[in-house]
Structure 1
Amino acid sequence: MPTESQSDDFSPVKRTEISESELACAKREYRLLRRLVILALWVGCAVALSLNFTDPDLWGHVTYGQEVIRDGHLHRTATHTFTAEGYPWVNHENIAELTYATIYTWFDDEGLQIFKCLVGLAILGAMAWAAHRQGVRPLTMAAFLLLLANNLTAFFPVRPQVLSFAWCTTLLLTLELAFTGWRAWLVDEPASDESSITPWTPRRLGWLALLPVIMVLWTNSHGAFVAGICITGAYLAGRIVEAIYYQRTKSLGIVAAMVVAGLLVLAATFVNPYGTGLHEWLLLSLGSPRPEITEWAAPKPSDPVFWPLMTLIAVAIASIAFTRQRRDWVQIAILLLVGWQACSHLRHIAFFTLLCGFWVPVHLQSMLLRAKPDTSKLPVTRLGTWSRWGIATALLVAIGLQANTLGNRLERLPVYRHKYPVDAFQWMTFKDLHGRLVVPFNWAQYAIAALSPETTVSFDGRFRTCYPQEVVDKNFDFLLGDNKGYRYRRPEAGPIDPTAVLELGNPDLVLIDRQYNQPIEVMRLESEKPNPAWTLIYQDGLAQLWGRSSIYNDPQSDQYVAPEERLITDTLHVTAFDWPALPVQPTAKVLADRESSQTPNENLQ
């Protein structure tokens, strides 16, 4: 008969009497099926983390990293722009950009996809390891990891944030190692028999020496290191309060060690190429709202991330409410604060997910065991042959299908022609059109990779790291207008002027995303003026390209584009090319014939 500990598992067997040998076989079969379920859940996690969505800033991240490697130094002022020449560039993503540039150079876009998926699995693996040390069972943890992975999906394209999540995980793992068994030591309680945790001693605080190293790497990888400072500060402050409350003067040495660790974490953020300049920029940037950026908006029911987040919040609340494990008030307080931020800003959902991955599983396991009925006195039997093979086959098929999806996602990073101006950039290259380009900020870094150095942009996704607020204001005035009130502009900016960007820096070309009504209307009105300053020279179902009339509509100009050479259609292609989908340079024959050709994209295949 199964023991009480064995009965905690949900055995898929019929309730009839069997012999001891059959019982042993039933247990082996159950272990095999359980391992297949765990494997299926882990492969499902990999699929969730492998979403091959092309981030609009990826072109820039790889390009900037390649340029640093090529030139041998960081660029201190804005590059590839005509509106912010000489303006300081505080790039807080140097390690991420160098990493992605190196991976792409050696392994192409497939390498980028595999890298970010491996980082995601390593993050989940760290959570699973920490949970195992606390006695959480693999099946429970694997199921919870699938929920966590689905909460991370939207935040896991190839972008610097992936390294932020990796450093945050390393930080949480370090805190886990430094304070494992802490509560039992504080109140002189024995450690739980279900845990493999050794008793806490002050020597464990030696793990805190890793925190400044982690923070140096994080500071130079992505600006979310600020979240790491807040989490670390709150965590250490909570532990200090506990130590003083329970141990009084006996804790002075331990408190001093934690204070020193916290100060070193702060000091580590100054180890960057800009010194205090990074912090000055952060204070200025974080002090200004960013309502134009969707990641700073609150999640809505229509967002793909909304229901996974709500599910995770419900699981976390239920687990902590109904657990039989001792609750850690420091962890709960931080979870509440970060959870509040996750409900206020989309970009903080990932950090709430990471915290849940380390601090909720032990309570989830306790809640499930508390809710499970006692089956220890019920007789069991082996599954029938067809049942065993049927379940095993179904699991193997599920694993195979997921593995196939995973393989398809990892082998390519598509750039869809109905989302990015692949055709417009190819036509510009075909016609040798270059110059100062006004372009939507979510296409601008693609434009930099595709058309530089001959073409520079008015504004791009680097945002305030290298653009003054005046440039930000004028570009968003053109793209968004008042955006239904969801705008931040300088107090002295004056009324919204959607045409101001058309004169800022004297641009030559204007590329428009036709999904935005504001710039379409602005350019229509401009074209209806007597002697219009702008002429439509290219259009497809996604984009419009306008050229300054004095350059592209004047027969006396050497860059004149005659009406019969212009390509004006409403065609919208839904196919995709592999990233980076850069324009193909025309061959000598194409160059000779390009004046009459209207099919510039046929060579992009």
Structure 2
Amino acid sequence: MPADTHADAPPSAAYADAARAEYRLLRRLMIASLMLGCAGCFAFNMVDPDLWGHVRYGQEWIEAGQMHRTATHTFTAEGYRWVNHENLAELAFAWGFDHLGVGGMLIAKCLAGMLIIGLMLMVAGWRGVRPLTACAFLLLVAVNLKAFFPMRPQLLSFLCCAAMLTLLEAAFLHWRRPFRTHEPAQLPARPAIDWRPLAFVPVVLVVWVNSHGGFAAGVCIACAYLFGRGVEMLIDRRPGDLPKIAGLAAVAAACVLAVFANPYGTGLVAWMAESLGSPRPEITEWAGPKPSDPIFWQLVALGVANAIAWGFTKKQRDWVKIVILMLVAWQAVSHLRHIAFFALLSGFWTPPHVQSVLSAMRSKAANGLEIVRPAPLMKWAAVAAILFTTYVQTRSLASRLLVLPVASNQYPVDALQYIEDHELSGRLVVSFNWAQYALAALAPDTTVSFDGRFRTCYPQEVVDMNFDFLLGEHGGARHRSPNSGPIDGARVLSYGDPNLVLVDRTYPHAVEVMRQQSADQGGRWSLLYQDAISQLWGLANRYDQPTSPDYVAPDSRSIGDQESTRLVQWPAFPQRRGGVASRPQPEKLQMTRRADERTIPPSPGA
């Protein structure tokens, strides 16, 4: 039998070891609870308005064996070029929902988020960060990412960004420059760059450029990082540096060239330059965060944490990372959609400095104090609290991984069922946030005037007339083509000869336009259906005339303000007449709405 290692140790040493063991147990339980908190953020199961379209386009590509080059499912942009910069994401979504189902895709989405956190933890471990410190900070990162984690192509942007940052950290893991302060003389002045991870950065960008438009941010971050390292070597010139600088320049050039590895070649670059050069005041994700936004205070907390960590750290500050962080932070406060990139950079670069600040505070507070074992009552109370929190988190996480609910008081579930029941079809003007739902649910019989693909497949003039209808002047916050003429909310009602209009009643301008259209011009439009959130209008000369084959009798119309609170499993397509399931049928869920299943804001989001 091995001898007791503490047999000859003084009682104080054994006592300290026992205390450390008990604190270690508590730390492990806290780490598990923090990781479950991160998983809960990534299990966010609010439906994205564009998900229906992404899955539909991917399925059509798989069925046809080729990618569409011109706009589909629309009557206002037939034959117009379609620059689909999210093709790999749409293929992944189509394959995933066809083979894994809703639950499988929700689990995959959550695992993708946890993979990002896992990469951050791995990099933090390389830097010597304690797991509990890293997990606590990464929970704040996950909270900032939560709002950006519905099922959408941006997820591939986040995965590619995390992979790229991991490779950069691996390549420059031991990077030190002698001109920095606090450089220990005994350390090597300049360890060699590990070129192997750097070689894969352009490969990641090739995947990224075919997955989501966020690749533009990735190229900028990668090139800025490599440029910064090259500047460091130019400032601290040493023999043998020029070949390394040339190597970094070659990697940066390869990152830029990766942008052209897409089905459109230079066409994608030209479209991106044109699109990003035009403001998007109508799209909420391109607006700056406001205190009323759910993400605002999480961003403030992350910004304050970064400022404290980088401002009071005892570790060396990396000016390259600081400059990039500040630039991305500027973009985050300018555009909501860039908050996610600020969170990702923070997760990879800030934990070592968080630990430095916390270690200094802990050392100062514990100076002269002895290690004390927690009292049994306190210890078991803490364990019980952590276990109870873990239980609640686990139940919440499990429930979110089972359903992707479509709320009938947010989406026109009942209006689409009315359209299906009454065999209505044709050319539909539909509110922006509902367009891809209607497009997928009613295809191929019905096409739409405009949808969330925005400028990728619609001329600016078509974009303008649809937002003229939806928003009007929008408080003067509109960007329109000079060829669109003055704002005219009714123009979209005649362009391309639509016969149906589906209005979101939370847009008062669109409701007022339809009210005027029904009263003016001899009542050109007639109300066929209305509930608490939607109105369906049809051409009066088509649906009001008893001699018309499309006539809808007054007793067949449903006009009211009834509010439905049903939650229906995605895709929530209408049930076909006669029970024919040519589309997936909705599965009614007996659920209550949770607080975080927020309604879509009144202004359209991308």
The reply to whether TM is greater than 0.5 is yes
Q: Is the 8 A contact 2:279 2:479 kept in 1?
A: yes
Match of 2:87 among 89, 94, 97: 94
Match of 1:81 among 74, 85, 94: 74
Give the 5 Å matches for 1:394-543. 394-543=385-534
How much has 1:381 moved relative to structure 2? Answer: 3.6
Provide the rounded CA distance (Å) in 1 between the counterparts of 2:416 and 2:65: 29
Partner of 2:4: none
Q: Is the 8 A contact 1:186 1:247 kept in 2?
A: no
Partner of 2:384: 393
Q: Per the alignment, do residues 514 and 198 of structure 1 end up closer, same or farther by CA in structure 2, a change over 3 Å counting?
A: farther
Give the 5 Å matches for 1:223-238. 223-238=213-228
Provide the rounded CA distance (Å) in 2 between the counterparts of 1:589 and 1:172: 49
Is 1:31 matched with 2:31?
no
Aligned CA-pair RMSD: 2.2
User: Runs in 1 of length 4+ with deviation above 6 angstroms?
Assistant: 185-193, 197-200, 601-605
Is 1:166 matched with 2:159?
yes
Partner of 1:294: 284
Is 1:368 matched with 2:361?
no
Residue 167 of structure 2 aligns with an amino acid whose one-letter code is: T
Partner of 1:239: 229
Gaps of 5+ in 2: 1-9, 590-606
Residue 39 of structure 1 aligns with an amino acid whose one-letter code is: A
How much has 1:117 moved relative to structure 2? Answer: 1.0
Gaps of 5+ in 1: 1-16, 591-600
> What SS is found at the alignment partner of 1:79?
coil
Residue 235 of structure 2 aligns with an amino acid whose one-letter code is: Y
Match of 1:65 among 43, 58, 61: 58
Partner of 1:129: 122
Q: Is the 8 A contact 2:415 2:534 kept in 1?
A: yes
> What SS is found at the alignment partner of 1:587?
helix
Q: Per the alignment, do residues 192 and 585 of structure 1 end up closer, same or farther by CA in structure 2, a change over 3 Å counting?
A: farther
Partner of 1:595: none
Provide the identity percentage: 51
Give the 5 Å matches for 1:322-361. 322-361=312-351
Provide the rounded CA distance (Å) in 2 between the counterparts of 1:582 and 1:162: 25
Residue 367 of structure 1 aligns with an amino acid whose one-letter code is: V
> What SS is found at the alignment partner of 1:415?
strand
Q: Per the alignment, do residues 602 and 302 of structure 1 end up closer, same or farther by CA in structure 2, a change over 3 Å counting?
A: closer
Q: Per the alignment, do residues 478 and 232 of structure 1 end up closer, same or farther by CA in structure 2, a change over 3 Å counting?
A: same
Q: Is the 8 A contact 2:569 2:588 kept in 1?
A: no
Q: Is the 8 A contact 2:182 2:316 kept in 1?
A: no
Q: Per-residue CA shift, 1:146-203, capped at 9, x if unaligned?
A: 100100010010100011011011111111011111125777997899xxx9996435
Provide the rounded CA distance (Å) in 2 between the counterparts of 1:337 and 1:474: 35
Q: Per the alignment, do residues 589 and 442 of structure 1 end up closer, same or farther by CA in structure 2, a change over 3 Å counting?
A: closer
Q: Per the alignment, do residues 178 and 602 of structure 1 end up closer, same or farther by CA in structure 2, a change over 3 Å counting?
A: closer
Is 1:269 matched with 2:259?
yes
Q: Per the alignment, do residues 192 and 539 of structure 1 end up closer, same or farther by CA in structure 2, a change over 3 Å counting?
A: farther
TM-score between both structures, scaled by the size of structure 2? 0.92
Partner of 1:141: 134
Q: Is the 8 A contact 2:568 2:587 kept in 1?
A: no
Provide the rounded CA distance (Å) in 1 between the counterparts of 2:180 and 2:562: 71
Q: Per-residue CA shift, 1:111-161, capped at 9, x if unaligned?
A: 221111111111111111101111111111111011001000100101000
Residues matched between the structures, number: 576
Is 1:22 matched with 2:15?
yes
Q: Is the 8 A contact 1:184 1:191 kept in 2?
A: no
Residue 339 of structure 2 aligns with an amino acid whose one-letter code is: I
Q: Per-residue CA shift, 1:298-350, capped at 9, x if unaligned?
A: 00001011001011111101111101111111110001100001011000000
How much has 1:589 moved relative to structure 2? Answer: 11
Provide the rounded CA distance (Å) in 2 between the counterparts of 1:368 and 1:206: 34
Provide the rounded CA distance (Å) in 2 between the counterparts of 1:33 and 1:462: 49
Provide the rounded CA distance (Å) in 2 between the counterparts of 1:140 and 1:18: 30
How much has 1:466 moved relative to structure 2? Answer: 0.3
Is 1:105 matched with 2:95?
no
Partner of 1:597: none
Q: Is the 8 A contact 1:425 1:583 kept in 2?
A: yes
